[in-house]
Amino acid sequence: MARSKKVFRESLLDHLAYSLAKDRYSATQKDKMHAFALSVRDHLAENWIKTQQQYYDVDTKRIYYLSLEFLMGKLLESYINNLGLRKEYEQMLDVFGLSYEEIIELEWDTGLGNGGLGRLAACFLDSMATLQYPGYGYGIRYEYGIFSQRIKDGYQVETPDNWLRYGNPWEFQRPELLYPVRFYGKVNPIVYGSGGRLRMVWTDTEEVMAMAYDYPIPGFHNNTVNTLRLWSAKSTRDFDLEYFNSGDYIKAVENKNNSENISKVLYPDDQSMAGKELRLKQQYFFVSATLRDIIRRYRKFHKDYGSFPDKVSIQLNDTHPSIAIAELMRILVDEEGLEWDVSWEMTTKTFAYTNHTILEEALETWSEELMGSLLPRHLQIIQEINRRFLIQVDCKFPGEEERKKKMSIITDGGEGRVHMARLAIVGSHAVNGVSELHSGILKENVFNDLFTLFPERFQNVTNGITHRRWLLESNPRLAKLITEAIGDAWIKDLHKLKKLESLADDSEFCKRFREVKEANKNALSNYLGWTCKLSFRSPFLLDCQVKRLHEYKRQLLNIFHAITLYNRIREGRMDETFTPRTILFAGKSAPGYFLCKLIIKLIHAVGDVINANPVVNEKLQVIFVPNYNVSLAQRIIPAADLSEQISTAGLEASGTGNMKFALNGALTIGTLDGANIEIREEVGEENFFLFGLMAKEIAEMHSTYNPQEYYEKDGELRQVINQLLEGHFSPDNHGLFYPIIKTLLEGDRYFVLADYASYISCQEKVSEEYQKKDKWTKMAILNVARSGKFSSDRAVLEYAKKIWHVSPVPI
């Protein structure tokens, strides 16, 4: 131990001196964190090399998870936990005069994603490595991740996330892995060979280079270290010599700047499709480099493509990378000279597609014009895929022209559009939704015609979360309590939490469980007090809605509840048994989403009025925590009593925040939507607060729904709406919230008014139950005990068995 202590100590000091050339006089706190991270990184290198070698040695099938987003958060602590080096490092930090927590806090969040989809990709990487699957993540190394959210005067203000400013200790630049990616140009047919075969040649293109940056992804307490490879755009030539020689230095570097724009910034839209050329460029850029890389690796040991689908499985995380289907066809047909049919069989066997949304505005389509200009050969290939596909449709449904139109990958009628989800389904052997309900809706509704044609392709894999980050790392107090009670096998197999069930009646365990929650609440309150002056009263029920702002997620319903409570308290309609609450919101709105930005302002306005009212603020608090990100989630979730999962039924494909809260002992108030349904099934309906219309009811109501009826019938709801109309929360600008009311009364696409009464009465039930401390604790413990299904280990295992057909490779 003494020796190892010395080794760790030396490693920290060596990195400070030799990697960073700093000493105790010049080292900043960030330098110390950096030296610390480099020292941790040293422990990964050997197994990383070994793992990658082993994959070659056994010529394993590899899983490629293609995603435009990887929301990794901080990495230092999860690396230390997975390596099992926490004790060693905790003891060492006196060298730097900082505590372990201080060092961890200094790391910048890697925010290369918007929300659920990107965080899911990050959780899957952890599970693939822990289960020892040969998995790779492939994406873009954005120079700017998801924007930082500041709040000014109650409004969201975006500032760029310059996450690479202080360097990045985790990445390994691989300048030798450099691929040209082509855009624009034209397609020329040429005849070649004695048989006179026609071949399409894509010429006169513009080129950008894609350079690889690798991140090690270690499994938990095993020797596996997988790779996340992110591409950065580099200009093909640093300078355009012609301009340079003519003395126009600025022009000479101009092109360099333009081409490097491709990996400059993450699109900050969640759930809405931006039909921008740069976005399609980003998609093709990373897909093209990734396929080149996959093929390079495959070709090291294989002369032909015969076993390509046996060695390569590509999972498309939503449609964002689905242009890969056309790109693989292009490579096989145009460059390798394979027959179309052979290439098509190989392509469909290789790809699988995960759908993440049924929201119309989020389903990607590209105009034929844009695609034809940016990727002319790909458009031709998609047209040919579609032509052949429609013949298939015609055989199955002869003469059904309407149906054919609904299924066609390319729709005409004015401007032709390419439907990427349809391309992804036609070009894959497996298609999955991310919860039982969502997968059902895909089959029965959104893609019903495609399902009828390819029933065997459609599957469900309910999402999951890595409990190693979302419990072991972020809730050390609860993790310790659990391990003391049932051992630590749960860290590798979350189903083991079932053993806690019997302790839900054990008064000593319940007491300690409550103490953990209290301590987490205090810690969060202190942290928020210190970082953004937002401390809250920890004995209050802590009611949390933390997620992206979107109308379908219905933050409005939640704030309407807050206003209702405010009215009841103010008007003396609550007795002493009232359960005091803190309603905590956090989340970013897409910068161009006017209504959601106004909802953020409304939350602040309501919070201010409540805060200023001495009668009400004794019992109610509404706070909005700025700049929600993975690290904040890791602090908020362990402290929560109540988890708000209140989307309009049918619209939240799965949700993963819902799983994180339940796993950390918060009770859910939720609709029958996404994975809520499965959470309720697992934890038991008596341990879940259900309200609201079901997806089927909503579908039936669509044509007849009249929100104004609800406004007229429900006095409390009317009061809330009238207060907004009359400027109760915006005395200086009476009409400020008028746009919100207008969307509600003139359509209410998301059924806020229809669900209001049911939500309010369910919240009353929550308040009542929270008073029964023992019962509440028992319910919370049962939520934890029965969360085993929601580990991403389970999800990855399902993908491996049902879709990828891959086995673990022990290292």
Cβ neighbours for 476, distance < 8 A, ≥ 6 positions apart: none
Alpha-carbon separation of residue 33 from 76, 531, 678 (angstroms): 9, 20, 41
Nearer of residues 292 and 477 to ligand D6G, judged by Cβ: 292
- Give the shortest CB-166-to-ligand D6G separation in angstroms: 23
Residue 325's Cα: distance from chain center in Å?
A: 23
Q: Respond yes or no: is residue 553 known to be catalytic.
A: yes
Which tokens sit at 323?
């242009």
Pairing type for strands 148-152 and 689-690 reads: unpaired
In the window 777-796, what residues touch ligand D6G (CB under 6 A)?
none
User: What letters, b where the CB count within 10 A reaches 16 and e where it falls short, cover 327-364?
Assistant: bbbbbbbbeeebeeeebbebbbbbbbbbbbbbeeebbb
Residue of 15, 281, 553, 778 marked catalytic: 553
Q: State in angstroms the smallest separation of the CB of 64 from ligand D6G.
A: 11
- Cα–Cα separations (whole angstroms), residue 387 to 240, 264, 298, 391, 426: 42, 36, 31, 7, 12
Residues within window 545-584 making contact with ligand D6G, judged by CB under 6 A: none
Among residues 234, 356, 429, 597, the one annotated as catalytic is 356
Give the shortest CB-229-to-ligand D6G separation in angstroms. 7
CB of 177 to ligand D6G, least distance (A): 7
Instruction: Map residues 104-123 to x or -, x wherever contact with ligand D6G holds by CB under 6 A.
Output: --------------------
DSSP state of 397: S
Size of the site for ligand D6G (CB under 6 A): 7
Q: CA 803, 804, 808 angle in degrees (round to 5)?
A: 130
Q: What tokens does 346 get?
A: 């190989």
Query: Of 107 and 214, which has the nearer Cβ to ligand D6G?
Result: 214
Residues 426-465 that bind ligand D6G (CB under 6 A): none
Binding mask 25-54 for ligand D6G (x = CB under 6 A): -----------------------xx--x--
Residue number, 81 or 227, with CB nearest to ligand D6G: 227
Catalytic status, residue 656: yes
In the complex with ligand D6G, the residue whose CB is nearer, 226 or 520, is 226
Pairing of strands 581-586, 417-419: unpaired
Q: Which residues are within 8 A (CB) of 641 and not within 5 positions of it... i.e. 6 or more apart? A: 517, 541, 542, 543, 666, 667, 770, 776, 780
Enter the DSSP assignment of 455: G
* Closest of 42, 82, 125 to residue 221, by C-alpha: 82
User: Per-residue contact track with ligand D6G, 156 to 195, x per CB under 6 A?
Assistant: ----------------x-----------------------
Would residue 364 be called left, alpha or beta, if left means φ above 0 and alpha means ψ between -120 and 50 degrees? beta
Angle at which helix 323-330 crosses helix 340-350, to 10 degrees, equals 140
DSSP state of 113: S
Q: How far is the CB of 751 from ligand D6G (least distance, A)?
A: 49
Residues linked to residue 232 through DSSP beta bridges, in sequence order = 211
Shortest separation between residue 227's beta carbon and ligand D6G, angstroms = 5
Q: Which of 227, 319, 664, 676 binds ligand D6G (CB under 6 A)?
A: 227
For the CB of residue 63, give the shortest distance to ligand D6G in the complex, in Å: 14
The binder of ligand D6G chosen from 31, 69, 77, 214 (CB under 6 A): 214
x-marked contacts with ligand D6G along 652-691 as a string, rule CB under 6 A? ----------------------------------------
Choose, from 32, 311, 547, 789, the residue flagged as catalytic. Answer: 547
CB of 292 to ligand D6G, least distance (A): 11
Contact 327, 343 (CB under 8 A): no
Q: Among candidates 92, 104, 100, which has minimal Cα distance to 4?
A: 92
Residues 492-551 that bind ligand D6G (CB under 6 A): none
Q: Which residue is nearest to ligand D6G (CB)?
A: 214
The mark string for 288-327 relative to ligand D6G (x by CB under 6 A, - otherwise) is: ---------x------------------------------
Under rule CB under 6 A, residue 241 binds ligand D6G:
no
For Cα atoms 575, 729, 633, give the angle at the middle one, nearest 5 degrees: 80
Distance in Å from the first CA to the final CA of the chain: 26
Catalytic-residue membership of 547: yes
Active site residues: 356, 547-548, 553, 656, 660
* Residue numbers at the binding site for ligand D6G (CB under 6 A): 48-49, 52, 172, 214, 227, 297
